[in-house]
Chains A and B, each alone.
Chain A
Amino acid sequence: MKYALLIYADEKAWESVPHDQRHAIYEEYDKFANELVERGVMRGGDQLADSPAATTVRVRDGQQLVTDGPFAETKEQLGGYFLVEVDDLDTAIELASKIPGARHGSVEVRPIIEG
């Protein structure tokens, strides 16, 4: 079963994190990614640019509507994700709880539909 672990966090709060602490958190992410590889469950993952860099596109009645910013203004923004392949939801939850972002933001666990 494949799951997307979607990491949501408050970008503004992240900006105020001192440089050395940020560095430590990035190292934690590296460690986590390595663990995923070692366990043979890593199927991908990326950090996303902050939401001000986002552009939202809608097509209505054949008309392209392009707007600045993410599709919804929320306190926490999607900041990155991992794709993992594990046996069941309990294992996915266990991995999600190890993502540093889970401690200050939240991680949404979404099963991936395989056709």
Chain B
Amino acid sequence: MTDAFGALERSFRQGSGRAVAALIRVTGDFDLAEEAVQDAFEVALRTWPSRGVPDNPEAWIVTTARNRAIDKLRRDRVGRAKTEAAAQIAELETIGVDVHEIPDDRLRLLFTCCHPALAMDARVALTLRTVAGLSTREIARAFLVPEPTLGQRLTRAKRKIHDAAIPYRVPPRELLPERLGGVLAVLYLVFNEGYAATEGELLRAEMGDEAIRLARLVDRLLPGDEDVRALLALMLLQHARHAARTDEAGDLVLLEDQDRSRWDHAMIDEGLSVLAEHAGRPGAYRLQAEIAACHARAPRPEDTDWPEIATLYGRLAALQSSPVVELNRAAAVAMADGPESGLRMLEPLQPDLDRYHLFHSAKADLLRRAGRTDDAVEAYRRALALTTNDAERRFLERRLTALQRA
């Protein structure tokens, strides 16, 4: 029963984005659109199990939700709003007459949800709620915030879109590169939230799937953009390692210790084939994807092309210099040229990254490999004091114990 419900919920959710987007375009009302789609979901709950899922669920949802929206407009609007409602009803009636001509407004919905005038956490929540169709409860659980808090965040964001007149459109050409960058940043954040699992591993994996699904959507609706393709490749190549990233106990497994047969090789192949396409100037997503590809191509850890990875991090640092990029670069250099070279590169980063647990765990690892056990122990302790992630804490404790025993 629960499984059947889950399957129905999932196929409904994945088909509901177009309905939400179309209804918002016509009515400008996020809440009305969500309620109409929720009503359609309840109809689906009653009819789909007995009659089966419609051939074209998207079209079914658009039509059903549209009818609900028309009912609501007829019922609720009075006075001056009545003329406006009549015009909206007329426009709604033209939607979905021909199932092959359902307008796809999801791209403009995405740009509105990711508008820079909204706070980042609101952009993420709104995108997952309206474009991806996740429930408030699912989003709240994935981002470890209480459901009412997330509900308020969504309400405030919707109110701001209305009150500040954030436009519902794909931005004009002159704004597009910057705004698209903002959309991709939201998708990558959704993805990373899934990748940097702090708890609820299963749910986090779903966030990764969701981010990939959204990236595919952007790629389909805005074809040929290299940053979009590169981000998709990056997500695929990283997500492919998901099953191998934790062991049965939920503990973190380092890249070098992962069972590479558990990687999703179909997903890797897809990521690599996206990367094989022609690229102009490689952007940051592209460089990160190429780094992930270096790992994905290596059958064994010792086959990894570390000099190439170090070079790629160097190019990434030239493009968007940040202490974290430098940290990764140092780790790659250490793999290519030995731990002492890496340690020399870490030194200047200490002031910026002193509060960052991964800095200390990377440093500890290099010290350990350089045979400087006492310094390594100290660095592991510092990393332990700073981490908030349970799996990471257990990992660091294991390393520390092994080192002290040796």
Contact = CB atoms under 8 A, between A and B. Distances in A.
Interface of A: 1, 87-90, 93, 109, 111
A88 B165 contact: yes
A41 to B, nearest CB: 14
A101 to B, nearest CB: 19
21 contacts: A1-B165, A87-B165, A87-B167, A88-B165, A88-B166, A88-B167, A89-B115, A89-B117, A89-B164, A89-B165, A89-B166, A89-B167, A90-B166, A90-B167, A90-B171, A90-B175, A93-B117, A109-B164, A111-B163, A111-B164, A111-B165
Given A88-B165, A89-B117, 7 more contacts: A88-B166, A88-B167, A90-B166, A90-B171, A109-B164, A111-B163, A111-B165
Interface in B113-148: 115, 117
A92 to B, nearest CB: 8
Interface of B: 115, 117, 163-167, 171, 175
A90 B111 CA distance: 12
A66 to B, nearest CB: 33
Nearest to B174: A94
A48 to B, nearest CB: 24
A89 B161 CA distance: 9
A1 B164 CA distance: 8
Contacts of A89: 115, 117, 164-167
A84 to B, nearest CB: 12
A51 to B, nearest CB: 27
> In this complex, which of B165, B167, B171 has the most chain A Cβ atoms within 10 angstroms of its Cβ?
B165
Contacts of A90: 166-167, 171, 175
Contacts of A93: 117
What is the interface of chain B mostly: helix, strand, loop, or mixed?
A: loop
Nearest to B175: A90
A89 B112 CA distance: 11
Nearest to A110: B164
Contacts of A111: 163-165
A85 to B, nearest CB: 11
Nearest to A113: B163
Contacts of B166: 88-90
Contacts of B115: 89
Nearest to A111: B164
B35 to A, nearest CB: 25
A83 B163 CA distance: 16
A88 B171 CA distance: 12
A43 B276 CA distance: 54
A111 B161 CA distance: 11
Contacts of B171: 90
B350 to A, nearest CB: 30
Nearest to B167: A88
A40 to B, nearest CB: 17
A32 to B, nearest CB: 19
B13 to A, nearest CB: 29
A114 to B, nearest CB: 11
A89 B164 CA distance: 6
A87 B164 CA distance: 10
Contacts of B165: 1, 87-89, 111
A109 B116 CA distance: 13
The 3 closest A-B pairs by CB, nearest first: A88-B167, A1-B165, A88-B165
Contacts of A87: 165, 167
Contacts of B175: 90
A88 B111 CA distance: 14
Contacts of B117: 89, 93
A72 to B, nearest CB: 22
A36 to B, nearest CB: 18
Contacts of A88: 165-167
Nearest to A93: B117
Contacts of A1: 165
A24 B305 CA distance: 57
A108 to B, nearest CB: 11
B119 to A, nearest CB: 15
With most chain B CB atoms within 10 A of its CB, the pick from A1, A89, A109, A111 is A89
A85 B117 CA distance: 18
B180 to A, nearest CB: 14
A42 B166 CA distance: 20
B115 to A, nearest CB: 8
A93 B182 CA distance: 16
Residue in A87, A90, A111 whose Cβ sees the most chain B Cβ within 10 Å: A90
B79 to A, nearest CB: 15
Nearest to A1: B165
